[in-house]
Amino acid sequence: MSAGVDYVLPLRWDDDEGLGELTAYLRELSRWARVLVIDGSPAPVFAQHAQLWAGTVVHLRPDPAHACANGKVAGVRTGMDRTRHEQVVIADDDVRYGEAELRRVVGLLEQADLVRPQNFFRPTPWHAAWDTARSLLNRAVAGADYPGTFAIRRSRWQAMGGYDGDVLFENLELIRTVRASGGREARPLDLYVARLPSSVQRFLDQRMRQAYDDLAQPWRLAGFLTVWPTVVSLVGRRRPGRLATLVAGSVVVAEAGRRRAGGARVFPVAASLLAPAWLLERGACSWAVLWLRWRRGGVPYAGQRLRVAAHSPRTLRARQRASSAARTGPVGGTEPDRAVAAVAEGFAGRATAAAKGDGVPAGVDLLTARVEQPEAAAHD
Least confident of 17-21, 134-138, 299-303, 311-315: 299-303
User: What was the pLDDT predicted at 324?
Assistant: 86
Predicted model pTM = 0.86
**Residue 330, pLDDT score:** 56
Mean pLDDT score across all residues of the chain: 88
**What's the pLDDT tens digit per position in 30-44?**
999 999 999 999 999
pLDDT for residue 3:
59
User: At 1, is the pLDDT very low, low, confident or very high (cuts 50, 70, 90)?
Assistant: low
Q: How much is the average pLDDT of 121-125?
A: 98
When comparing pLDDT for 360 and 95, which is higher?
95
Look at residue 31 in the predicted model and tell me its pLDDT. Answer: 96
Hey, is 148 helix, strand or coil? coil
| pLDDT tens, residue by residue, 235-262 | 999 999 999 999 999 999 999 999 999 9
Q: Is pLDDT above 60 for 57?
A: yes
What is the chain's alpha carbon radius of gyration, rounded to the nearest angstrom? 22
Share of the chain above pLDDT 90, in %: 82
What pLDDT does residue 328 have? 72
Cα–Cα–Cα angle for 341, 379, 376, rounded to 5 degrees: 35
Confidence check: pLDDT of 341 > 70: no
Asked if pLDDT for residue 344 goes beyond 90, the answer is: no
Local confidence band at 327 (pLDDT 50, 70, 90 cut-offs)? confident
Angle CA 108–114–119, to nearest 5: 80
User: Does 369 have pLDDT greater than 80?
Assistant: no
Report the distance separating Cα 357 and Cα 377, nearest Å: 9
In angstroms, rounded to a whole number, what is the distance separating the alpha carbons of residues 216 and 173? 9
Q: Quick one: pLDDT band at residue 380, thresholds 50, 70, 90? A: very low
For the stretch 94-112, pLDDT in tens is 999 999 999 999 999 999 9
Q: What is the pLDDT of residue 360?
A: 36
Q: Tell me, what's the pLDDT at 335? A: 38
| Interior angle at CA 123, CA 201 and CA 35, nearest 5 | 90
Torsion sign across C-alpha atoms 191, 197, 246, 172: negative
pLDDT for position 326:
84
Asked whether the predicted pLDDT for residue 175 surpasses 90, the reply is yes
| CA dist., res. 321 & res. 197, Å (int) | 40
Q: Exposed, middle or buried: residue 335 (CB in 10 Å: 0-12, 13-18, 19+)? A: exposed
> For residue 331, is pLDDT > 80?
no
pLDDT at 336 over 50: no
Q: Which domains does the chain carry?
A: 5-195 (3.90.550.10), 200-306 (no CATH)
Nearest in space to 162 (alpha carbons), one of 78, 47, 91, 104: 78
SS3 126: helix
ω into residue 123 within 30 of 0, thus cis?
Answer: yes
